[in-house]
């Protein structure tokens, strides 16, 4: 598991491309797309987040268990990991069996998502587009984007596998190639006059290229991966599925909670307010996601190594890496948020657009709630490297309470950004924002003293 500074560098670059594609495209998009088309595009991306909920934590759990197997574990455990069964070599037959089961699961997910998007998704796009944008354009763009989502989900097991075996640099380099293709094609299609349809087509073509390159990279990675060539089939294994299912369900609940807090507000905004306001709020949300994801890059780059070091019992290196990731995260966020507040609207003016970010008060509320929520996610993600997920109930309960408050306020009180945003901030402040940070710090002290216990 040789992960170092080069992996961190490529991580920052790839995340900047992945999360920043809309920011890089912004001057062109604002020139060629109307405000309603921009709002519809952000609605597409929110539907993608909704569709990805079907993954329900499999990707995280699979990546973690692939790292355990790559470190020499001979089996997948329901809870934690068995250090007594470790060897210095990868158990190829069992490894292939795990990958075949994973492939079966993701092909099943892709089929379900296709049925969902072609029925309910199409109906939703029809409803919000009617009267605001030409239906034919909206539906063609949506169908292209829909196929992108289905292909992304069907073959997203490659994300887990490449991260799990420590191919972080390769994974990130492929993402960079993918996003460069999307960026170039989007600009070309927009300049040719294809509008929102062109942006969706560019994304579809980039997804196809991404999955081809990931498959090629895996089989070329090492002698062990070469030995699995032509052995990985779509095949279900009951024992393996039942071993990964419990923590997958818990992690899936966390994915749902994250979606309700991060992405669902955009759908509420487009429904209760307007596509124009949704576009402005979606733009800020996209910028914040870019900042937060870049700030998390150091942590995420070493996530597979955190799992690896857990299995090997090398706790001093583990905790030092985690400490560095937190310091890096905080410094990057503070600097970026200051620049955003001071220069955000100035930048939009410089590129020659009439667009403005949402007001300063609502912007500050959004920044604070996104930062605090991201912070608790990082700490609990580190806790999850023990293959234990004690926090999932608290996350989903608070998310449901938040959504209920938003519905009540937007439907029966007043429909504005304050009634949308304040529940997101206040509900998390009551418990999750502070409790899980303290919990993980206490757990680290326990691990240092040799008491490896996490109470559910």
Angle CA 141–201–142, to nearest 5: 20
Give the start-to-end residue ranges of the domains of the chain.
5-447
Q: What is the DSSP annotation of 158-205?
A: HHHHHHHTT-HHHHHHHHHHHHHHHHHHHHHHHHTT-HHHHHHHHHHH
395-411 residue pLDDT tens: 999 999 999 998 899 88
Alpha carbon distances (Å) from 349 to 23, 337, 343: 14, 18, 10
Residue 22 has what pLDDT? 57
Alpha carbon distances (Å) from 141 to 20, 46, 54, 203: 21, 15, 23, 11
24-44 residue pLDDT tens: 666 777 778 877 787 787 788
Alpha carbon distances (Å) from 288 to 48, 62, 131: 18, 28, 31
pTM over 0.95, yes/no: no
Tokens representing 244 are 């990964």
Tokens representing 233 are 């089939």
325-367 residue pLDDT tens: 999 999 999 999 999 888 877 777 665 556 677 778 888 999 9
- Report the distance separating Cα 273 and Cα 296, nearest Å: 32
Q: What is the DSSP annotation of 76-109?
A: --SSS--GGG--SS--HHHHHHHHHHHHHHHHHH
Alpha carbon distances (Å) from 164 to 171, 308, 329: 11, 9, 23
- Report the distance separating Cα 70 and Cα 300, nearest Å: 18
When comparing pLDDT for 275 and 417, which is higher?
417
């Amino acid at each position: 598991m040789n992960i170092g500074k080069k992996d961190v560098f490529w991580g920052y670059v790839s995340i900047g491309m992945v999360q920043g594609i809309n920011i890089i495209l912004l001057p062109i998009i604002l020139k060629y797309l109307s405000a309603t088309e921009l709002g519809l595009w952000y609605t597409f991306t929110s539907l993608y987040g909704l569709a990805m909920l079907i993954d329900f934590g499999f990707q995280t759990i699979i990546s973690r268990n692939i790292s355990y197997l790559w470190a020499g574990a001979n089996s997948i455990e329901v809870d934690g990991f068995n250090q007594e069964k470790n060897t210095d070599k990868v158990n190829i037959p069992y490894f292939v069996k795990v990958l075949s089961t994973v492939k079966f699961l993701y092909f099943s997910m892709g089929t379900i998502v296709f049925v969902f998007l072609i029925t309910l998704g199409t109906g939703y796009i029809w409803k919000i587009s009617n009267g605001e944008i030409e239906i034919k354009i909206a539906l063609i763009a949506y169908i292209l984007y829909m196929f992108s989502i289905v292909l992304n989900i069907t073959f997203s097991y490659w994300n887990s596998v490449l991260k799990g075996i420590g191919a972080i640099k390769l994974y990130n380099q492929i993402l960079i190639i993918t996003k460069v293709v999307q960026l170039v094609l989007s600009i070309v299609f927009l300049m040719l006059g294809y509008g929102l349809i062109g942006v969706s087509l560019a994304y579809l073509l980039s997804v196809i290229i991404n999955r081809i390159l990931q498959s090629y990279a895996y089989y070329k990675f090492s002698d062990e991966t070469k030995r699995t060539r032509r052995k990985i089939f779509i095949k279900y294994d009951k024992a393996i599925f039942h071993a990964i299912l419990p923590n997958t369900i818990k992690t899936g609940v966390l994915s749902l909670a994250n979606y309700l807090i991060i992405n669902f507000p955009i759908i509420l905004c487009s429904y209760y307010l307007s596509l124009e306001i949704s576009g402005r709020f979606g733009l800020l949300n996209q910028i914040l996601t870019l900042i937060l994801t870049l700030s998390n890059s150091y942590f995420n780059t070493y996530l597979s190594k955190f799992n690896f070091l857990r299995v090997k019992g090398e706790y001093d290196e583990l905790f030092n890496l985690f400490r560095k990731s937190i310091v890096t995260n905080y410094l990057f966020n503070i600097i970026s948020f200051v620049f955003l507040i001071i220069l955000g609207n100035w930048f939009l003016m410089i590129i020659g657009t009439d667009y403005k970010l949402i007001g300063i008060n609502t912007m500050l509320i959004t920044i604070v709630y996104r930062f605090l929520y991201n912070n608790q996610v990082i700490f609990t993600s580190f806790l999850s490297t023990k293959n234990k997920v004690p926090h999932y109930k608290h996350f989903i309960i608070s998310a449901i309470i938040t959504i209920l408050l938003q519905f009540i306020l937007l439907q029966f009180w007043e429909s504005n950004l304050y009634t949308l945003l304040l529940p997101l901030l206040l509900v998390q402040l009551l418990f999750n924002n502070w409790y899980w940070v303290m919990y993980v710090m206490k757990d680290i002290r326990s691990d240092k003293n040799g008491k490896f216990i996490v109470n559910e």
